[in-house]
Each structure stands twice: as structure tokens, then as C-alpha cells.
Amino acid sequence: MKKDVVVESFELDHTAVKAPYVRLIAEEKGPVGDVITNFDIRLVQPNEDAIPTSGLHTIEHLLAKLIRERMDGMIDCSPFGCRTGFHMIVWGRPSATDIAKVIKSSLEEIAQSTTWEEVPGTTIESCGNYKDHSLFSAKEWAKLILEKGISDDPYQRYLV
Ligand code: ZN
């Protein structure tokens, strides 16, 4: 077993960041040369806010669809256990600015026009906790995040 493993996310000073932001965590190259890029999609301020589970769950389901409609190469976008945002992994080397624009546009669609019928995977067959969804919460949190604006830098407010 390896000792002294460094997990980048735990090295970040969570008191120094200014959410909402998109942060490039790392680019990694696989054994045959393919590149994947990891992003920290921080939607609310750590240790001050947390998106309630039902709203975060619905945002998760919607982002799975809305991000793929807006860009190629998305591998995964999953919520942090602290409920302040998402970890996103993509093929290739998009910039934090590219990703921030996709997240902004996706949240705009959630806030402005998404109906319950458009939320994917809300049945007992297609979700692991189908009773724990809230489109109302997803929309209200999307509005709050968009009011603050999404920065492509974790420490400075450079809004996209
Ligand atoms: Zn689910």
C-alpha cells in the first residue's frame, strides 16, 4: 500500500476561494497518450453554503444532459460530498473558461425553462433515489449562482 498519497483537492485552501467558479485541477495523460482534464465546479461558497441534496441531485441529472448537449468529451460530472459543487472530468484540454461558459449556459436553461418532464432519470428504474429530487430547489439555486456570476478563476472574480 502506498503512503503519503497527495489528493490535490485536499491541498486547496477552501477559505481562500471565491465561488462560484470553475478551476482547472489537473491535466493527466494516460499510458497511450490520451489526455483527460479535471475541473472543480464550485457553485457555492465552501463552509458558508451547501445546496440541499434534492436540488443538487436534480442539478446533477440535468447537467448530465445539458453539458453533453453543449460540448463533446464529457466523461463525468458528479457532486462533491460537501454539496458545494461538482467534480468534472473531460477528454482533451478545454479551458476553465470553456467549461465555465458551458456551466453558465446549462444553469440558465435550468433556471429559465426546464420543466419536470425534461429532467432525465426520475423513475424508480433509472435513479438510485428517485424520491429525492426537487426541480424547484434546482431552479432557485441556479438563479442564486447566476446572480453571483461564474468566474473562470478560483481567487479572482473574472466572470464569464
Ligand atoms: Zn439519481
State pTM to two decimals: 0.94
State the distance from the centre of ligand 1 to the C-alpha of 2, rounded, in angstroms: 33
Which domains are present in the chain? 8-113+122-148 (3.30.1360.80)
From CA 92, how far away is CA 108, in angstroms rounded?
25
State the distance from the centre of ligand 1 to the C-alpha of 7, rounded, in angstroms: 26
As a whole number, mean pLDDT of residues 58-73 equals: 98
State the distance from the centre of ligand 1 to the C-alpha of 132, rounded, in angstroms: 8
State the distance from the centre of ligand 1 to the C-alpha of 134, rounded, in angstroms: 11
What is the reported pLDDT for 159? 97
Q: Decide if pLDDT at 53 tops 80.
A: yes
What is the reported pLDDT for 11? 84
State the distance from the centre of ligand 1 to the C-alpha of 57, rounded, in angstroms: 6
State the distance from the centre of ligand 1 to the C-alpha of 98, rounded, in angstroms: 26
DSSP assignment of the chain: ---S---HHHHS-TTT--SSEEEEEEEEE-TTS-EEEEEEEE-S-TTT----HHHHHHHHHHHHHHHHHH-S-EEEEEE-TTSSEEEEEEES---HHHHHHHHHHHHHHHHHT--GGGSS--STTT-TTTTS--HHHHHHHHHHHHHH--BSSSSS--B-
Which residues is 120 bridged to in the sheet?
none
What is the reported pLDDT for 34? 96
Of residues 127, 112, 108, 104, the one with CA closest to residue 58: 127
pLDDT tens, residue by residue, 135-159: 999 999 999 999 999 999 999 999 9
State the distance from the centre of ligand 1 to the C-alpha of 16, rounded, in angstroms: 31
**Confidence category of residue 57, pLDDT binned at 50, 70, 90:** very high
pLDDT tens, residue by residue, 1-50: 888 888 887 888 999 999 999 999 999 999 999 999 999 999 999 999 99
State the distance from the centre of ligand 1 to the C-alpha of 69, rounded, in angstroms: 19
State the distance from the centre of ligand 1 to the C-alpha of 3, rounded, in angstroms: 34
State the distance from the centre of ligand 1 to the C-alpha of 158, rounded, in angstroms: 32
State the distance from the centre of ligand 1 to the C-alpha of 26, rounded, in angstroms: 27
pLDDT tens, residue by residue, 68-125: 999 999 999 999 999 999 999 999 999 999 999 999 999 999 999 999 999 999 999 9
